[in-house]
């Protein structure tokens, strides 16, 4: 059965078992009677917007219905979603009225992004489309262009996207609007965001958590959100959960979330009902903000929420082919799918469109009549489609000099501890334009230095309430991502650190955001925005204590799949390179930056000057670990990722002693994108540069933090790839020891040595002569170490000591001693 069979339109929810007394928690208001002129303006705005929205779905000609419809007037492909449009236009009309009446700074975030016809129609009525797209002028031709071009290659797409003025939300994937709206109002004390959430969208996990977002809004420093839950009762082919919940269930739910609940459901007097409710919501917001800004914040304020019940597809066809349409799921998309070939449906379409009386809504030149314009803000910058926050509001950061936080070469430092100090200073220097959004992991990730001068912004916690904290920790990656998007798209900068294994939770959100940003870059009127910045730590290499579930580097591949002008992936090998990288990322614009690094202490291999040059180039030969500074190598060993690079360095150190005839070049890659085939990415090395770094024909072994297909994809198109071998994470893990993780995934120093010996033997006869014996010795050491780990539950002493290289700053690297006095080098040659 394709959908439910309903016996009446707009069925109401069955009564719940909750006591009637809970209805006292809902807000009762004496409706304010609007003037006849205001009611006329609101009603005509809605009629005009609904007419245009419906016409956009169907008409390829006869845009103003000045003659009877013919089959030739109907588009060959009928695309669009009608069902949500009447609710969206109703809210749009009233937000205009509320803005004009109160001189508001207000933007409109639309959760049901498939309702693009409603939003585009309203933008045309207010003149915002014409501002950004002259072909959609408020003329007969402009209206014709809008209606006939919709959902065709020459016009707007079927969903709200970055081409839609006023939008800060990619509306194709449902669930994220509410978190985006709350992110947008942070540090914008005068801004109000009205966010409409469809009742289908409300079933998504991200939306369910985002209702808690109000608990992270400090009314002393930030604006406010007016959430509007649009309950039209149906999804694509069945009823919604909210549509089956009665008022008692709804008021209980939202009271528990921390809201005051006002129902808007008087269909016979909807304009007075909604206007009264919106003004009440704004007045409640002002009370909460006034108390906080006067130094007497309300603990756990009850923010307003509107529950708007209107029929799905309201004002559309009542029945088609014996099926209820208005007030049912049949209104969701295109109610009259056969209008191009069926005479009855064509007649139904004509009657539907004429029911809006378009001849009375537009002047002879095609412009909206004056009464419609009377409810729209008079000043362009107040119109919903022209709010500067949504398209031209970037605030560049004052980024601290990273070198002031650098670490001495030759020592050890956690990358996260190092950058924590820089982020702390950056938040001090940018007190209203930089925030950190994290899923409750900052201290675990050793980023707690960010709390040196600030705190958390959890307003329902008595220990962080009203203290101006710049850090938001909520154990919902979806909500963090929504906050980050809303904050970034309204001009500010955010940082999102996470356990590596769980950042993939927001994979599709990141992709949707990237699609929005791609289209934004292709408009002529959206200006630059800050990059979004992800920090992956607690990586699989050191999640041996948490086990297999915490070992997952797949988010790297998600970012690599983005367009080349957006994707940036960095794996800095030490604290100084990570400092340089994050400073660069915080200054960058329009990218998706992913930085991957260790939270555990790691050797600092590069000085400030070396780190700076290394990051500028994206990769370099590490001469201290190479034979004769890397000249004329037999084999090239490449480390990508801090722990994987450490294993390469240790392997090179051991090989100097065990196989002195082998000539090794060690390369570290910190910018993954330099590997991409020439011309395919802005950071790609030319083939000449690639060969200079990796040689033209010598074996190259990559020891890589992520999955092998990622390196294979990046290298595809480079010449002579049959000389390449790749070791990587192989989905092997458990609760074990750190070095056992290296062994299980065959990325340990021993495995690097094996590849180096086999590769070097191809061109070096001395190595070839000794290869069998050397490989046997290495395999024997692997077995010994594995036996030791199984027997003792720990790694051999000295396993992670800094390796020794004569004539360098690492000449005196320590070698740990075992219980019997033998060094780890003697017993296992681990170092």
348 and 422 part of one domain: no
Q: Is the pLDDT of residue 813 over 90?
A: no
Residue 814 has pLDDT above 50, yes or no: no
The domain that holds 785 is classified in CATH as: 3.40.50.920
Predicted confidence (pLDDT) per residue in 549-598, tens digit: 888 999 999 999 999 999 999 999 999 999 999 999 999 999 999 999 99
Tens-place pLDDT, residues 712-724: 999 999 999 999 9
Q: Please check whether residues 243 and 276 belong to one and the same domain.
A: yes
How far apart CA 11 and CA 6 sit, in angstroms, is: 8
Query: How confident is residue 2, by pLDDT bands cut at 50, 70 and 90?
Result: low
Contact by Cβ (8 Å): 640, 702: yes
DSSP string, 423-464: HHHHHHH-TTTEEEEESS-TTTTT-GGGGGS--B--TTSTTT
> Quick one: what percent of the chain has pLDDT higher than 90?
92
Quote the CA–CA distance of 469 and 472 in Å, as a whole number: 8
Are both 453 and 549 inside the same structural domain?
A: yes
Q: pLDDT (tens digit, 9 = 90+) per residue, 132-162?
A: 999 999 999 999 999 999 999 999 999 999 9
Residue 695 backbone zone (phi > 0: left; psi -120 to 50: alpha; other: beta): left
Residues 6+ apart with CB under 8 A from 239: 4, 11, 233, 329
Same domain, 85 and 197: yes
Considering all CA atoms of the chain, what is the largest pairwise distance in Å, rounded to the nearest integer?
Answer: 100
pLDDT band of 817, cuts 50, 70, 90: very low
How confident is the model at residue 829, as a pLDDT?
62
Average pLDDT over residues 198-213: 97
Q: Which pair of structure tokens corresponds to residue 527? A: 């200006």
For residue range 362-413, what is the model confidence (pLDDT) as tens digits? 999 999 999 999 999 999 999 999 999 999 999 999 999 999 999 999 999 9
Please provide the average confidence, as pLDDT, over all residues in the chain: 95
CA distance 523 to 161: 11
Is 601 contained in some domain?
Answer: no
d(CA 329, CA 304) in angstroms, rounded, equals 29
Q: Confidence class of residue 171 from pLDDT cuts 50, 70 and 90?
A: confident
Q: Averaged over 304-328, what is the pLDDT?
A: 96
Strands 592-596 and 567-570: parallel
Q: 437: domain CATH number?
A: 3.40.50.970
Is the Cβ–Cβ distance between 454 and 471 less than 8 Å? yes
The answer as to whether 22 is a domain residue is: no
- Regarding whether 318 and 218 lie in a shared domain, the answer is yes
Between CA 723 and CA 709 the distance in angstroms is: 16
Whether the pLDDT of residue 665 is over 90: the answer is yes
Output the pLDDT for position 3: 66
* Within a domain: 241: yes
Last residue of a domain, one of 321, 355, 383: 383
Residue 149 near residue 52 (C-beta atoms within 8 A): no
Rounded Cα–Cα distance for residues 225 and 186 (Å): 10
Tell me, yes or no, whether 378 and 408 share the same domain. Answer: no
> Do 585 and 648 belong together in one domain?
no
Q: Tell me how far apart the alpha carbons of residues 386 and 166 are, in angstroms, rounded to a whole number.
A: 6
Instruction: Give the start-end residues of each E strand in 213-302.
Output: 224-231, 259-264
**pLDDT of the residue at 276:** 98
The answer, yes or no, to whether residue 302 has pLDDT greater than 50, is yes
Domain that holds residue 630: 620-828
Domains held by the chain: number: 3
Judged on CB neighbours under 10 Å (0-12, 13-18, 19+), 775 is middle
Answer whether residue 826 shows pLDDT above 50: no
Q: Could you tell me which residue, 441 or 230, shows the higher pLDDT?
A: 230
14 occurs within a structural domain: no
Q: Does residue 1 lie in a domain region?
A: no
pLDDT in tens, 222-252: 999 999 999 999 999 999 999 999 999 999 9
- Contact yes or no for 106/193 (Cβ under 8 A): yes
Q: Which residue has the tokens 């199984």?
A: 790
Contacts of 63 (CB under 8 A, 6+ apart): 55, 140, 143, 144, 147, 148
Question: Which of 596, 612, 632 is a domain's end point?
Answer: 596
588 and 691: one domain?
no
**9 in a structural domain:** no
Same domain, yes or no: 446 and 322: no
The last residue of a domain, from among 322, 352, 383: 383
Q: Is residue 789 located within the same domain as residue 656?
A: yes
pLDDT at position 352 over 60: yes
Query: Is the confidence at residue 825, as pLDDT, over 70?
Result: no
* Residue 673 DSSP SS3: helix
Q: Are residues 171 and 212 in the same domain?
A: yes
For residues 545 and 738, the answer to whether their CB atoms sit within 8 Å is no
363 and 489, same domain (yes or no): no
Determine the pLDDT at residue 819.
Answer: 46
Token pair of 145 as six digits: 């262009």
* pLDDT for 728: 97
**What does the alpha-carbon distance between residue 267 and residue 597 come to, in Å, rounded to a whole number?**
57
Lowest mean pLDDT among 50-64, 651-665, 807-821: 807-821
Q: What is the pLDDT of residues 475-498, one digit of tens each?
A: 999 999 999 999 999 999 999 999
b/e per residue 496-515 (b: at least 16 CB within 10 A) = bbbbbbbbbbbbebbbbbbb
Tokens linked to 361: 């809504």
Residue 7 located in a structural domain: no
Please write the tens of the pLDDT for every residue from 601-619: 999 999 999 999 999 999 9
How much is the average pLDDT of 339-355? 98
N-to-C CA span, the chain:
67
């Amino acid at each position: 059965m394709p959908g439910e069979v309903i016996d009446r339109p707009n069925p109401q929810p069955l009564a719940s078992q909750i006591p009637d007394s809970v209805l006292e928690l809902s807000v009762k208001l004496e409706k304010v009677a609007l003037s006849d002129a205001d009611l006329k303006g609101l009603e005509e705005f809605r009629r005009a917007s609904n007419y245009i929205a419906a016409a956009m779905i169907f008409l390829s000609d006869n845009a103003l219905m000045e003659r009877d419809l013919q089959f030739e007037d109907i588009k060959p492909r009928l695309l669009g979603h009608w069902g949500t449009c009447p609710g969206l236009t109703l809210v749009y009309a009233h937000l205009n009225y509320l803005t004009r009446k109160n001189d508001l700074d207000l933007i409109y975030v639309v959760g049901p992004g498939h309702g693009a016809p409603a939003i585009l129609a309203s933008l045309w009525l207010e003149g915002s489309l014409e501002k950004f797209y002259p072909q959609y002028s408020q003329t007969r031709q402009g209206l014709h262009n809008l209606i006939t071009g919709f959902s065709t290659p020459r016009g707007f797409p079927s969903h709200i996207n970055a081409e839609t003025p006023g939008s800060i939300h990619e509306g194709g994937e449902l669930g994220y609007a509410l978190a985006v709206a709350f992110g947008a109002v942070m540090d914008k004390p005068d801004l109000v965001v009205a966010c409409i959430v469809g009742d289908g969208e409300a079933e998504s996990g991200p939306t369910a958590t985002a209702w808690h977002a109000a608990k992270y809004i400090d009314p002393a420093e930030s604006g406010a959100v007016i959430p509007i839950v649009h309950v039209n009762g149906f999804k694509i082919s069945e009823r919604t959960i909210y549509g089956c919940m009665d008022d008692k269930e709804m008021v209980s739910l939202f009271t528990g979330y921390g809201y005051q609940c006002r129902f808007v459901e008087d269909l016979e007097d909807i304009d007075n009902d909604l206007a009264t409710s919106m003004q009440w919501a704004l007045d409640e917001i002002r009370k909460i903000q006034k108390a906080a800004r006067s130094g007497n914040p309300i603990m756990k304020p009850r923010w307003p929420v509107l529950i708007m019940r209107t029929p799905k597809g309201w004002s559309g066809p009542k029945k088609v082919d014996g099926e209820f349409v208005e007030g049912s799921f049949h209104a969701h998309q295109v109610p009259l799918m056969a209008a191009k070939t069926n005479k009855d449906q064509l007649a139904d379409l004509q009657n539907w469109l004429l029911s809006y009386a378009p001849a009375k809504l537009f002047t002879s030149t095609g412009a909206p009549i004056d009464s419609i314009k009377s409810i729209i803000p008079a000043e362009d910058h107040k119109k919903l489609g022209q709010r500067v926050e949504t398209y031209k509001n970037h605030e560049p950061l004052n980024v601290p000099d990273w070198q002031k936080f650098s670490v001495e070469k030759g020592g050890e430092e956690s990358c996260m501890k190092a950058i924590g100090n820089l982020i702390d200073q950056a938040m001090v220097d940018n007190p209203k334009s930089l925030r950190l959004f994290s899923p409750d992991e900052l201290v675990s990730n050793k980023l707690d230095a960010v709390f040196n001068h600030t705190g958390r912004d959890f307003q329902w916690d008595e220990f962080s309430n009203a203290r101006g904290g710049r850090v938001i920790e909520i154990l919902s990656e979806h909500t963090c991502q929504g906050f980050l998007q809303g904050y970034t798209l309204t001009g500010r900068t955010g940082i999102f650190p996470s356990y590596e294994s769980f950042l993939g939770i927001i994979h599709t959100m990141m992709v949707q955001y990237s699609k929005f940003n791609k289209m934004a870059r292709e408009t002529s009127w959206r200006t630059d925005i800050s990059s979004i910045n992800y920090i992956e730590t607690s990586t699989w290499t050191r999640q041996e204590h948490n086990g297999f579930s915490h070992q997952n580097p797949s988010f790297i591949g998600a970012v690599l799949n983005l367009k080349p002008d957006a994707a940036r992936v960095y794996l800095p090998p030490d604290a100084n390179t990570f400092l340089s990288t994050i400073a660069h990322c915080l200054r960058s614009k329009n990218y998706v930056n992913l930085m991957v690094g260790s939270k555990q202490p790691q050797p600092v291999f590069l000085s400030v000057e070396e780190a700076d040059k290394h990051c500028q180039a994206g990769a370099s030969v590490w001469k201290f670990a190479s034979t004769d500074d890397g000249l004329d190598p037999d084999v090239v060993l490449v480390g990508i990722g801090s722990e994987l690079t450490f294993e390469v360095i240790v392997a090179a150190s051991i090989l100097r002693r065990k196989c002195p005839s082998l000539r090794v070049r060690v390369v570290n890659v910190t910018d993954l994108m330099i590997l991409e085939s020439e011309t395919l990415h802005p950071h790609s090395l030319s083939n000449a540069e690639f060969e200079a770094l990796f040689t033209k024909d010598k074996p190259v072994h990559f020891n890589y933090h992520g999955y092998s297909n990622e390196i294979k994809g990046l290298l595809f198109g480079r010449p002579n790839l049959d000389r390449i071998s790749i070791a990587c994470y192989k989905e092997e893990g458990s609760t074990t020891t750190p070095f056992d993780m290296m062994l299980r995934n065959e990325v340990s120093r021993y495995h690097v040595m094996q590849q180096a010996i086999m590769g070097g033997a191809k061109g070096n006869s001395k190595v070839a002569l000794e290869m069998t014996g050397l490989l046997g010795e290495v395999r024997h050491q692997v077995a010994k170490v594995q036996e030791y780990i199984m027997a003792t539950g720990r790694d051999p002493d000295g396993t992670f000591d800094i390796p020794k290289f004569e004539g360098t700053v690492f000449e005196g690297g320590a070698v740990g001693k075992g219980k019997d006095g033998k060094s780890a080098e003697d017993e296992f040659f681990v170092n």
